[in-house]
Structure 1
């Protein structure tokens, strides 16, 4: 509940502090006295944006501070999530500096307006005449039905499942889009991969093939040269081997005469032995020069395939081609695996959809059960509020579309007159009727959920007499389990309050200032009497005021 409100240098308020009690508090005052200023100040505490026009004295800062008792609010988790110090007695402060900057604090910790606004929604519900447009909003209508049906946990479970379903369905669509958009690319990748695989690439193969090709394509020349080399080496009279033997023989005869000759002899003998070995190898090579023409053609084709691939992929080695082959293999494998990925993802989506449909059906069933009770309660209460012929047609039609509030299409129609046509609330109900409908709905909600502190801003506009009395009774009943404020011009409503605050304007030192006065019993008699009969209060007005107060 709101325990106190301190306002300094705001609009027509210089410096005031108000303490509030539990139950039903009435706020009255003449038109233009400053009741809207009080609501504007509270709105700033609840996260509304501010500007310099709010400052009474533009050379000083404006400070608005509200103290709340949070014992009955489940807000500890909110404070933990926002890393704020939690206390059953929490102070919210807004400051507007002369520079135009605004600051917000919760228990002296600076916070953003977004955080302040989130907390504010759980603390105070300000309802003005213009807020009746909520009645025509489908989200509010669902909130009403689900609150009465006790669907809070079920709706949260549905929304969490919907979030998962949308997330997984998005993944599925991405996979399908990828498959569709890359099919042509996949066909090309497969073609390139098969082309590379057909080459049976191995490291070092190009060098081996090129060497074989050079020898095979020049086999006749190689054979001729080897044969001529063999002839030069081993010709019987003039061959190198014959002359080498003679030379070695000469130095063998000289070797006994000198160590130098002996060294030369040994070197010549070694050369002879090496030359003899070379000669034998040349003979062997010459005898084995035979190349298969068909093999040569195969090697030629294989080499040409390698050269063509290197040119196509702009590389110069087989190793680079093998790297490209691996790259295309991964692309093809990824694309081929996508079929399995899609099947798995379709199963995931189907499971979420099945669960989502089950939860949506449960929501529909619980909503349908509560609609007759809701309709009856609305019509019964509105009858007491001077709308005896008010009727509602509320229907829920399941659709195939899953939205944040279920898969129901909600039709919430109203008729104010007997035999009249049903239509949308905003088109068929007057402002006064909408106010009474909203009050009735708030009263119904108060019996089912823990509403925050409620402020009704002239919700009783356009009514009088017994209807005003009934509206006051409803707000009085609501205040038994929560704090309720009512800004009112009606004495029937004002008399219902447990506490009464009068707002008025006065001139101090040549400046108009808004003042607040908590009224005593006697002062309430005078205030209500004035509301009944005007400024010239008569004794009969006072007696009437006493009678109104005595009934409460």
Structure 2
């Protein structure tokens, strides 16, 4: 509930502070006294955009602050989701700076306007004859029916399932898009993969093939050089092996004369052994070196294949080609597995659809059961409010679409006259009738759910005395379970209030300003008497005012 409101430097208000209690609070004042200014300031607290032109003194900032007791509003989840600091005594402040900038605070923490609007909707409901759009919306009409049907738990489960259902649908769509893209590339990727697989890639193969190619491509030159080397090693007269053999024999003869000769003998023998081995290896190379045009052609072809693949895939070596092959295998495998993943997702969606359908059936059943009760209550209240012929036809039919609150499609029809044609509420009811219907609905809702503070802004315009008395009774009844404000010109309603505030204008230092003050009992008698008979209060007007108050 709203416990206090402070306004500084706003429109015709210089500085105003007022405290409020629960129950029914009445606000009265002459036309033009500033009731709309008061509502305008309150709207800023609820997240309405600020206007620099509303500053009373353009050189100073405007500050509007409201304190709410939210202990019974179950708003902790909202505060958490909007990242507000939760306090039972919550303070909302708006500031409009001379620069035109506007700031908003909840419990001294800065907030954006969209978040403030979300919170504001849960704190105060300002209702006037011109603000009945809510009444004609399907969402609000469902809200009324579901409140009477005690569908809160079912709707909570449904919305959780619907959120999961939509997430699964989004994931399926992503998989299908991925599959479509993959299928476009599937043939090409498979071709590339097969090409690399058929190549039987071996790491470092290029280096060994290039060495073999050089050998095979220069076989004649190599043979000539090996033959010359073999000749130098094995010539009967000048060959290195022949000379080393002779040298070894010389030092073998001398080895018995001195250890120095023995050492030279051993070295000659070691050199001969090494040279024999060298000679054998040259001989082996010579014997194994054959011109092989077929092998040369194969190696050349193999090298060209590997170089072409590296160029095609922009790879530095065969190792990178192997990495690319592995990646292509993954892509082809993922594409192959997509069908399975898509089927699993479709199965999950089907299961979720069954769950949603089951919950929506329960929601539908409870709605159907409660509609006759809602119609009876509405028509009974509206009869007291001067609409004895008001009739409603409300129907819910299950459709095929999962909406945010079930699968039902709502028909909320109204006729103001017996025998008249039923039509949509917004087409069949006048502004005054809509106001009374809204009052009836809000009074019914108040018995089922905790409503925010309600402010009725002159919804009694054009209403007769007896009907206004019934309106006042309804507001008074509503105020037992919520805080209710009524801005009114009718004394019958004004007399119902637990508290009474007066909006008035006065000139201070030749400057007009608006004030709001609470009235005591005697002041209420005067105010109500003036509402009954004008400024010149008669004895009968005063007596009538006392009678109304008592």
TM-score with structure 2 length normalisation? 0.89
Q: Does 1:8 align with 2:8?
A: yes
Give the whole-Å Cα distance in 2 for the aligned partners of 1:72 and 1:316.
72
* Between 94-103 and 401-410, the greater mean CA deviation after superposition: 94-103
| Residue 455 of structure 1: how far off its partner (Å) | 0.8
Q: Does 1:414 align with 2:414?
A: yes
| Residue 500 of structure 1: how far off its partner (Å) | 1.9
Aligned to 1:447, what secondary structure does the other structure show?
A: coil
| Residue 437 of structure 1: how far off its partner (Å) | 0.6
* Between 460-469 and 445-454, the greater mean CA deviation after superposition: 460-469
Aligned to 1:507, what secondary structure does the other structure show?
A: strand
C-alpha contact (below 8 Å) 1:127/1:457 kept by paired residues: yes
In structure 2, relative to structure 1, the CA distance for the partners of 1:306 and 1:22 (3 Å cut) is closer
Trace 1:350-389 onto structure 2 (pairs within 5 A): 350-389=350-389
In structure 2, relative to structure 1, the CA distance for the partners of 1:198 and 1:396 (3 Å cut) is same
Give the whole-Å Cα distance in 1 for the aligned partners of 2:497 and 2:199.
96
In structure 2, relative to structure 1, the CA distance for the partners of 1:95 and 1:320 (3 Å cut) is closer
Give the whole-Å Cα distance in 1 for the aligned partners of 2:232 and 2:61.
117
Q: Does 1:206 align with 2:201?
A: no
Trace 1:414-493 onto structure 2 (pairs within 5 A): 414-493=414-493
Give the whole-Å Cα distance in 1 for the aligned partners of 2:58 and 2:311.
79
Give the whole-Å Cα distance in 2 for the aligned partners of 1:29 and 1:480.
25
In structure 1, what is the equivalent of residue 132 of structure 2? 132
Q: Does 1:186 align with 2:186?
A: yes
In structure 2, relative to structure 1, the CA distance for the partners of 1:517 and 1:282 (3 Å cut) is closer
| Residue 449 of structure 1: how far off its partner (Å) | 0.6
Give the whole-Å Cα distance in 2 for the aligned partners of 1:72 and 1:219.
100
Aligned to 2:467, what secondary structure does the other structure show?
A: helix
In structure 2, relative to structure 1, the CA distance for the partners of 1:341 and 1:436 (3 Å cut) is same
| Residue 485 of structure 1: how far off its partner (Å) | 1.1
In structure 2, what is the equivalent of residue 102 of structure 1? 102
In structure 2, relative to structure 1, the CA distance for the partners of 1:291 and 1:432 (3 Å cut) is same
Aligned to 1:131, what secondary structure does the other structure show?
A: coil
In structure 2, what is the equivalent of residue 341 of structure 1? 341
In structure 2, relative to structure 1, the CA distance for the partners of 1:85 and 1:319 (3 Å cut) is closer
Trace 1:14-163 onto structure 2 (pairs within 5 A): 14-79=14-79, 86-163=86-163
Aligned to 2:175, what secondary structure does the other structure show?
A: helix
* Between 104-113 and 139-148, the greater mean CA deviation after superposition: 104-113
Give the whole-Å Cα distance in 2 for the aligned partners of 1:292 and 1:532.
126
Unaligned runs of 5+ in 2: none
In structure 2, relative to structure 1, the CA distance for the partners of 1:12 and 1:225 (3 Å cut) is closer
Unaligned runs of 5+ in 1: none
In structure 2, relative to structure 1, the CA distance for the partners of 1:259 and 1:71 (3 Å cut) is closer
Give the whole-Å Cα distance in 2 for the aligned partners of 1:433 and 1:61.
41
| Residue 265 of structure 1: how far off its partner (Å) | 7.6
Aligned to 2:321, what secondary structure does the other structure show?
A: helix
**What root-mean-square deviation, in Å, do the aligned CA atoms of Structure 1 and Structure 2 show?**
3.2
Aligned to 1:357, what secondary structure does the other structure show?
A: helix
| Residue 381 of structure 1: how far off its partner (Å) | 1.4
Deviations 1:203-249 (A, max 9, x none): 23333344445555666776676567656654657766556656766
Give the whole-Å Cα distance in 1 for the aligned partners of 2:240 and 2:3.
125
C-alpha contact (below 8 Å) 1:464/1:490 kept by paired residues: no
| Residue 378 of structure 1: how far off its partner (Å) | 1.3
In structure 2, what is the equivalent of residue 331 of structure 1? 331
Give the whole-Å Cα distance in 2 for the aligned partners of 1:250 and 1:547.
156
Aligned to 2:131, what secondary structure does the other structure show?
A: helix
In structure 2, relative to structure 1, the CA distance for the partners of 1:230 and 1:481 (3 Å cut) is closer
TM-score with structure 1 length normalisation? 0.88
Deviations 1:58-115 (A, max 9, x none): 3333333323333333234545566655444343333333333333344444444344
